[in-house]
Structure 1
């Protein structure tokens, strides 16, 4: 089978299309014939070594989120059958690229996967697991502050995958949402239900003060300037401590796989209760160019690699 491996640490040029042995399913596993794999900033960061717990020894396969069909089933009791449509998240923070999703076939633990409803196509489905779970789990950290219903929240990066889901889920949870959109993308973000949409160039110190910030970019201190004293800020990457200390609780949201949550979120997207979008698709063999496009920025939606 073909896979795309990071042969060394570096930029997109380190990604190489390589012939790899086709995997076999062990106990509790299935082999997924991958039809779509989402390209995340985390994938780009993995190739440069700028990830939690430090660089991964090369070679390795990037790729968290996959959608496809079950090609074979391992020994023992089976939850899935050959031909079942599935979507899932490889817990890359555990596998560290062995496996990763940039491949024609992936041996996946059944617990990484959920059934993919017929109403949702492979490409759109591949944009859901990492982004939507990160958004939901981050908002759960906000909820720990016991904020009353109707409290105000600022979401940075609402044009992005995580920020877009965070905006929708915050509205569902009863927050009053101010969402920061990329220039020219205000209509999309407004359509997610945000009560107010501001430009990415807005001075966030003039926003609010809000009870909470979901810093999906993250922008760090600039976003924190919008939160009230003793509020809460949730960031998706480590940010410096606030100076001065205003009693603001800072939380770091790092993804963890929650299969029940994933099934619910995929179901909501399939039913039209949550929206996602794809900016462009590219063949798996063009993964290096895909990373270049992600690094260049400006994509309104996710980039998804498709696999024949």
Structure 2
């Protein structure tokens, strides 16, 4: 089968198209014929070795989020049948590229996958698992202190995948959302439910003070200046500690796969009650160029690699 491996650690140039053995489904697994795989900043970070727990030995397969069809079913696997449409998240923090999603076929634990409704195409479906689960879990962490409805929440990176879902979840929860948007993306972000859209170039020290910050980029200190003393900040990567005198609760959100949550989120996207967007689709063989585009920035939506 065709796959794209990181042959060494480095920039996009380390990605190589390769012929790989086709996987076989083991007990509790299915083999997914991948139709779409989302390109994440986490994929780019993996190739450079800038990830938690340190670099992954090469070669490895990048890729967290896949959507496709069940090609074969392993023993003792009753959840899916051949031909079923599925979407799911490879827990890359555990598999560390064995497997990864940049391949024609992936042997996936059935628990990683949920049914993909016919109303949702493969490419937008592949943008959901990592981004929407991270945002949902991050907002739950942010609101674990029973933040009163109507409180102001600043969401950084609302033009992006995690931040965009985060803005939606906060707005749906009845909070006043101040969302940071890239230039030209104000209308999209406002459509996610943000009451106030803030340019990415703005000095966030002039915003608020707000009760809470969901720092999806994350910006670190540049965002935490907006939170009130005794407020709450949740980030998606480690950031410098906040001055203890401010008594701000600072939490880190790292993804954990939740199959029931994923099924609900996919259903909401299929029904149109949650929004996502695809900036462009590219063939899997152009993965290196896709990484270059992610590094260049300015994307409106996610890049998705497609097959077949």
TM-fit CA distance, 1:146: 1.5
**CA–CA separation in structure 2 for the residues paired with 1:77 and 1:4:** 28
**Partner deviation per Cα, 1:166-217 (whole Å, 9 max, x = no partner):** 0001111111100000011100000111011010011101111110000011
Aligned partners of 2:6 and 2:61 also within 8 Å: yes
Q: Which residue of 2 aligns with 1:206?
A: 206
Shift of 1:132: 0.2
Aligned equivalents of 1:173, 1:297: Cα separation in 2:
30
Residue equivalent to 1:168 = 168
Cross-structure match for 2:289: 289
Cα distance, 1:291 vs structure 2 = 0.3
Q: CA offset at residue 243 of structure 1?
A: 2.9
Residue-by-residue CA offset, 1:38-85 (whole Å, 9 max, x unaligned): 000000000000000000000000000000000000012411000000
Hey, what does 1:122 align to over in structure 2? 122
Does 2:226 correspond to 1:237?
Answer: no
- Whether 1:194 aligns to 2:194 is yes
Within-5 A mapping of 1:65-144 = 65-144=65-144
* Contact 2:29 2:77 (C-alpha < 8 Å) held by counterparts: no
Residue 57 (structure 1) aligns with:
57
User: What TM-score do the two structures reach when normalised by structure 2?
Assistant: 0.99
Distance 1:146 1:77 in 2: 40
Distance 1:130 1:206 in 2: 32
Question: After TM superposition, which residue ranges in structure 1, 4 or more long, deviate above 2 angstroms?
Answer: none
Gaps of 5+ in 2: none
What count of residue pairs does the alignment treat as equivalent? Answer: 308
Helix, strand or coil: the match of 2:44? helix
* Residues 238-261 of structure 1: CA deviation (Å, up to 9, x unaligned): 000013630001110110100000
CA distance in 1, matches of 2:214, 2:98: 31
1:178 and 2:178 correspond: yes
SS, match of residue 86 in structure 1: strand
**Mapped partners of 1:59, 1:182: distance in 2:** 35
- CA–CA distance in structure 2, aligned partners of residues 61 and 306 of structure 1: 16
Q: What is the DSSP-based 3-state SS (H/G/I as helix, E as strand, rest coil) of the residue aligned with 1:27?
A: coil
Cα distance in structure 2, aligned partners of 1:141 and 1:73: 36
Could you tell me how far apart the structure 1 residues matched to 2:299 and 2:159 are?
9
Q: Secondary structure at the match of 1:245?
A: helix
Q: Which residue of 2 aligns with 1:299?
A: 299
> How high is the TM-score relative to the length of structure 1?
0.99
Who is 1:220 aligned against? 220
How many Å separate the matches in 2 of 1:146 and 1:196? 23
Unaligned ranges ≥5, structure 1: none
Q: 1:229 to 1:96 in 2, by over 3 A?
A: same
Q: Residues 77 and 61 from structure 1, CA distance in 2 versus in 1: closer, same or farther, beyond 3 angstroms?
A: closer
What is the rounded CA distance, in whole Å, between the counterparts of 1:172 and 1:273 in structure 2? 10
- The CA RMSD measured in Å over matched residues stands at 0.7
Please state how far the C-alpha of 1:144 moved relative to its aligned partner.
Answer: 1.1
